[in-house]
Amino acid sequence: MSQHYQHDILVIGSGAAGLTLALTLPEHLRIAVLSKGNLANGSTYWAQGGVAAVLDDTDTVESHVEDTLNAGGGLCRIDAVRFTVEHSREAIEWLIDQGVPFTRDDQTAREDGGFEFHLTREGGHSHRRIIHAADATGAAIFNTLLEQAKLRSNIELLEQRVAVDLITERKLGTGGQRCLGAYVLNRASGEVDTFGARFVILATGGAAKVYLYTSNPDGACGDGIAMAWRAGCRVGNLEFNQFHPTCLYHPQAKSFLITEALRGEGALLKLPNGERFMPRFDARAELAPRDIVARAIDHEMKRLGVDCVYLDISHKPADFVKSHFPTVYERCLDFGIDITQEPIPVVPAAHYTCGGVLVDQNGHSDVPGLYAIGETSFTGLHGANRMASNSLLECFVYARSAAADILSKLDQVQAPAPLPSWDASQVTDSDEDVIIAHNWDELRRFMWDYVGIVRTNKRLQRAEHRVRLLLDEIDEFYSNYKVSRDLIELRNLAQVAELMIRSAMQRHESRGLHYTLDYPDLLPEAKDTILLPPTYGD
């Protein structure tokens, strides 16, 4: 039997953004944090590089802002960039206070007898400003925040809960637009439960799973973006999908990212014959922004007809490599690759969704009571290309800002009245799940082929035609059969894919991560691509 739950705060997503918000709010609030798999299944846990922040005396806010604007292809919103960077140090100090074990630099002693934290450099940055925990920063941050959340009696951590849709006043026909909660599939019981809340936060990550090859875990299906769109929220800049230049190329190495920090510490990209190629594409060579490096690799692979290129750090001392990159070293060794002796085969893979749900500086969306933080959101920080390690920073800064905004509005918002249960009276169990698997595979393949690193009008038109057929098939299936995680994710992925394609078709230029052979030049004026849902402004 389905259950009804009531909380002050409902956080959908258990990664860096969601946990930070929950921990920042006071302990008298009842908070539910939902994870659609195990708590560690999100992207945060797998982040390797680190968090960009102005921490060193030789670095400045202005320098970090300028680097971000340069990487963003003219589309970063300066107020969002400055807001994020100006709050970077306090966000890191908060993480340190939580107990995150960032790597310390044992070469430089502080006057108080302690040691400075080690900072590394990544593509697009003019300074060493990436604070990290070896090459497993995401795991260190996630594990620390999770342990802190488990100590808080007011935070309920719920696993295997898949959000189906948001509940709004508009959908209930009661007048008004406010978000009141969500319908959530309990994978253990198979029932769809009802969660009511005074405030709902989408912290569900990005949508890189829409592509056949991705560095993201399986859950990165754009759930929050799709749910917010259906609830009446605008979305922006979804044509900008970042492809990480270097994922391990090996038949058994599913989604293993080779951190950009290797290039920050001197690793070189090479062709199969050992020749470097990045200097031919950009003066910054291996330290150019990710969009440039990914396109260069894609170009060389297609030019030569090869399956991969190589990332070589074997010229560095073996002890240095093992101490700075223990995770990469061990994982590659599992596949018979000793990175201290030989280069790493790499390929680009879908990595980060730069667009998302439009929000203000407090993470608040167009729908009252609904917030979006982290990769789900579109704050304007990343512009047309996210600079390395700014994404985790955005999670912490905007989660803390959203928490402060919620706190300021608590007295104005009462708990919603009891919400209606999920109606499953007209659906049956599916005996055709092969359709879901087939549609999932087809969607990801044509998105990779037609809406990938290099695009054309013809490719986008083909993708648009296919995704509309798929949406019709999925809608019919959704209307007649009981929901499952696979069906929910397919429905959301197809919706976000359609929004990505529409956004790409509207941009008649090549800017940042959106590169099209039909419009290779920049337009004189940089404009965001904003899509309005059918219900916007009702």
* 379-426 residue pLDDT tens: 999 999 998 899 999 999 999 999 999 999 999 999 888 999 998 877
Chosen domain end from 308, 332, 350 = 350
For the record, the structure tokens of 51 come out as 């968090």
- The DSSP element (H or E) to which 34 belongs, if any, is strand 31-34
Chosen domain end from 350, 374, 397 = 350
pLDDT tens readout for residues 319-344: 999 999 999 999 999 999 999 999 99
Could you tell me the pTM of the whole model?
Answer: 0.90
Position 428 scores a pLDDT of 79
Position 240 scores a pLDDT of 97
Catalytic amino acids? 290
The more confidently predicted of residues 249 and 115 is 249
Position 107 scores a pLDDT of 59
Tokens 């990469």 identify what position? 328
pLDDT tens readout for residues 166-190: 999 999 988 889 999 999 999 999 9
**Would you say residue 321 lies in a domain?**
yes
Residue in 382, 536, 514 with CA at minimum distance from that of residue 455: 514
Q: Which residues pair with 352 in a beta bridge?
A: 242
**Would you say residue 534 lies in a domain?**
no
**Would you say residue 48 lies in a domain?**
no
**Would you say residue 319 lies in a domain?**
yes
pLDDT tens readout for residues 473-504: 999 989 888 999 999 999 999 999 999 999 99
Percent pLDDT > 90 in the chain is 77
Q: Is 113's pLDDT higher than 80?
A: no
Report the domain count for the chain.
2
116-149 burial, b at 16+ Cβ within 10 Å, e below that, comes to ebbbbbbbbbebbbbbbbbbbbbbbbbbbbbebb
Chosen domain end from 350, 384, 406 = 350
**Is the distance from CB of 42 to CB of 233 less than 8 angstroms?**
no
Q: Is 115's pLDDT higher than 60?
A: no
**Would you say residue 272 lies in a domain?**
yes
Per-residue pLDDT averaged across 17-37, rounded? 97
Question: Domain containing 466: what range?
Answer: 433-520
Q: Is 18's pLDDT higher than 60?
A: yes
CATH of residue 472:
1.20.58.100
Residues 249 and 346 in one domain: yes
